[in-house]
Structure 1
Amino acid sequence: MTPLYISILVGIGFLSGTSNALVGGGTLFSFPVLVWLGIPPVTAVTTNMMALWPGTVTSAIACYPQTKNVRSTLPVRIFAVSAGGVAGAILLLLSGDALFANLVPWLLGGATTLFAFYKPFVRYVLRASPDHRNVTALPIMEFFCAIYGGYFGAGIGILMLAAMALSGEHDMQSANAQRNFLVCFIQGTAVALFAFSGTVNWPVAFIVMIGSITGGYFGARVIRFIPNEWLRWLITAAGAIFSVIYFVRVYG
């Protein structure tokens, strides 16, 4: 690896870690750049998820105390999302680079759209949701969300929030805590499978991980000073640009 290559990896890790600490969407930075650097698409997903997972763990630990009002529902939901994460990871590994490369523009475009309009999307879902929690349907919905989370993962937090809203969860502070806690298990089971699949580029993963941990700490320190909407639209713009580039590359 050249010094420039290492610097780019640290930089995208830092940007992704900072973004995830503030508003999410870090994968919209890191994944396209890894592919641009010549890493095969499936390896880029597995390496990126491995690199960013430590930040997910710290978020889960920090958010766990805020899940006390739904603590009794967590064992079933953890099982559901873990199973979904494994299913998504297996689907990714079975897809292969050729098929997955054709899906990349759609995945990036969909995740960018979801990220850009998640507030009105969640508000709409909340208005349409029941007044009481449906604890039976929620694990099923979260299982299907988790399949996507293990397969690609960008925007998974927004899908999890929507599932909780549809099940009757109206306390968004609690929902955010539940989301962060459960995403840790979705990605944790996926990266456990990836670790033994031979698809992870470990040197790249560790370098990006160093940048993401640093960025996560930086984001937590400056969160009071950076307008979240500015960062959200910056990430949306980056995601849109990358989406167009990949649509042209694949279908142009």
Structure 2
Amino acid sequence: MGPARRCDARRVAEIVFLLLAGIAAGALNAAGGGGTFLALPALVAAGLPPVTANAASTVALVPGAVVGAWVYRREVVPVGVTSTTALTVTSMVGGAIGAGLLLALPSESFDVAVPWLLAFATVVLTFGRRLSTLLRNAAGRTLRLGPRPILIGQFVLAMYGGYFGGAVGILMMALWGVGLGLDVAKSNPMRVRQLSAVYATATVLFLVASDVLAHPLPLLAMLVGGVAGGYGGAHLVRRLPPGILRGTILVTAVTMTILYFLRG
């Protein structure tokens, strides 16, 4: 096999790998969060710089998030008395600011921060719900936060989502669970909607101001996979036991975090 043929075979294998990673990432995002743990390392492994890979993963996964939001459109439950429109606008603005920070800050800062961001997100995935329960029990009752603190918290989380995004959906549900006592299962459709809002505005900025379009094949492969995974994951989550889904996400998060620390 000549060098050109070996190069073509390697490129095909890389595209198939990114397509499968996109399917898995889109499914994880629709099912409960964690797609970043697959999409970001897969794009870095394909040769993209970490900042570009992070931007590309957001761009590639936003259609899947939108598809997931459409599947859940009839199941969205309001977050307390907070206006759904206000919550969505807050997510969009925060996502844009977070994406701007990613592009404005030195890329070396993100390279150093990635393993720690993954570790933080993994801890949130592992202990977030348990911590929510402990906080509610410590308060002796369910807190009833008004619209203002909910929107402030949503804005901070949306900025984090635009900058990195790992486990941001879990953080949203933790905020709503602790502050309003919302059930995790019932709040999942709203989580998917808010994730799509965060990612959508971040995507616009990344397409205009980053170099993600300089890598069209990896981006397209991840995007197609993300759409398929987002649609399938939103339907699959209704059929599989929550424990299996949560276990899959946690195993993925822990594995990718360890690999990133070893890589660094």
Q: TM-score range by the shorter chain?
A: 0.7 to 0.9
Shift of 1:153: 0.5
Counterpart in 1 of 2:52?
Answer: 43
TM-score normalised by structure 2 residue count: 0.84
After superposition, residues 58-207 of structure 1 pair within 5 angstroms as 58-67=67-76, 69=78, 73-127=83-137, 128=139, 130-200=142-212, 201-207=215-221
Given the alignment, which residue of 23, 40, 43 partners 2:32? 23
- How many angstroms does 1:171 deviate by? 4.0
Cα pair distance change 1:172/1:243, threshold 3 Å: closer
Question: Unaligned stretches of 5+ in structure 1?
Answer: none
Structure 1's 74 and 41: CA in aligned 2 closer, same or farther, altered over 3 A?
A: same
Contact 1:125 1:165 in 2 (8 A): no
Cα distance in 2 between the residues matched to 1:177 and 1:224: 12
| Structure 2 unmatched runs, 5+ | 1-7
Comparing 159-168 with 192-201, greater Cα deviation is found at 159-168
Label 1:180 to 1:225 Cα distance change in 2 as closer, same or farther (>3 A): closer
TM-score by length of 1: 0.87
RMSD: 2.4
Q: Residue type of the partner of 1:120? A: R
1:56 corresponds to: 65
Change (3 A) 1:218 1:183: closer
- C-alpha spacing 1:142/1:204, structure 2 compared with 1 (3 Å): same
Q: Distance in 1 between matches of 2:231 and 2:78?
A: 28
2:250 paired residue among 224, 236, 251 = 236
| Match status 1:212 vs 2:221 | no
1:25/1:218 Cα in 2 relative to 1: closer, same or farther (>3 Å)? same
In the alignment, structure 1 residue 13 sits paired with structure 2 residue 22: yes
Which has the higher mean CA deviation after the structures are superposed, 152-161 or 230-239?
A: 230-239
Partner Cα separation in structure 2 for residue 177 and residue 226 of structure 1: 16
